[in-house]
Amino acid sequence: MSALTDLLSVDGIRLDVEAEDWRSAVRASGQVLVDEGISTAEYTEAMVRNVEENGPYIVIAPGFALAHTRPFEAVLKTGMSWVRLASPVAFGHETNDPVQLVVGLAAVDSQAHTAALAALAKILADGDNVRALQQATSPGEVLRVLEGESTGADGQGGSRTAAAKDAAPAPSEHKILTVCGNGVGTSLFLKNTLEQVLDRWGWSRQVSVEATDTISAKGKASEAVAILTSQEIARTLGDVGIPVKVVRDFSSTTEVDAVLRDTYDV
């Protein structure tokens, strides 16, 4: 078992699910959470409202959406669902549509699922893993991919991050915020990808990363050097007094590497 498969069982994986639009796709992922005793139907509808109110920021990588909302009493325990659609649907995202994979996340707090999202971030950063997940013919096959070791690279990040490590000394005691609507899902996913890049740069001890929500980010901005987030959440934040950097593919260490280079002019 891994941190990820601790929260996702073979019964929580559904393949070739029919969905006519993004609402149906989110509800399909929520129904699996209900079937597995993870959350109630009220949580499913809250996930739909989250997208209606905040936009398609949950589409964090090409073809991939992390459906979730903030913890409340409709969450019975922390867990995940995995729904691969029979046909992709549009969520309205500028670059990552259409979506074929919807992972549902229900969490009792902002900590219980951190390790699982870190594992998922590494898996989806590996193109071979993504292809294996797209081509899997059974829930058991999906689970075997998720339990496996990931290289944690997306094909280009290694050489670029090595060059960055040689190009500039690490800053001292900096903080970067990763931000989403609720602070428990996509912001944690982006935090994990950013930490992978910082590890490769050798900057992990000097730069800390904090995942948070839009409301808290405005109060915490004075403590940080930059915010990394989606286009939709960047619009919501507006001017917070520090650079707000948009990341379109939260699973791409190459893109996050480029954003970090721009932040520090490396």
- In the structure encoding, which two tokens stand for residue 146, read together? 């998720």
Cα distance between residue 29 and residue 25, in whole Å:
6
Residue type, 262: D
Structure-token match 């006519």, residue found: 20
The answer to whether 174 is a known catalytic residue is: no
Question: Residue 241, SS3?
Answer: coil
- Per DSSP, the chain holds a count of helices (H) and strands (E) of 11, 9
- In the structure encoding, which two tokens stand for residue 252, read together? 């791409």
Cα distance between residue 61 and residue 45, in whole Å:
23
Q: What is the DSSP letter of 80?
A: E
CB proximity list for 147: less than 8 A, separation 6 or greater: 1, 2, 4, 5
Which burial class, exposed, middle or buried, applies to 83 when counting CB atoms under 10 A from its CB (0-12, 13-18, 19+)?
Answer: buried
Residue type, 8: L
Cα distance between residue 186 and residue 152, in whole Å:
18
- In the structure encoding, which two tokens stand for residue 29, read together? 């992922």
Structure-token match 């079937």, residue found: 35
Structure-token match 């890049």, residue found: 197
| Residue numbers annotated as active site | 68
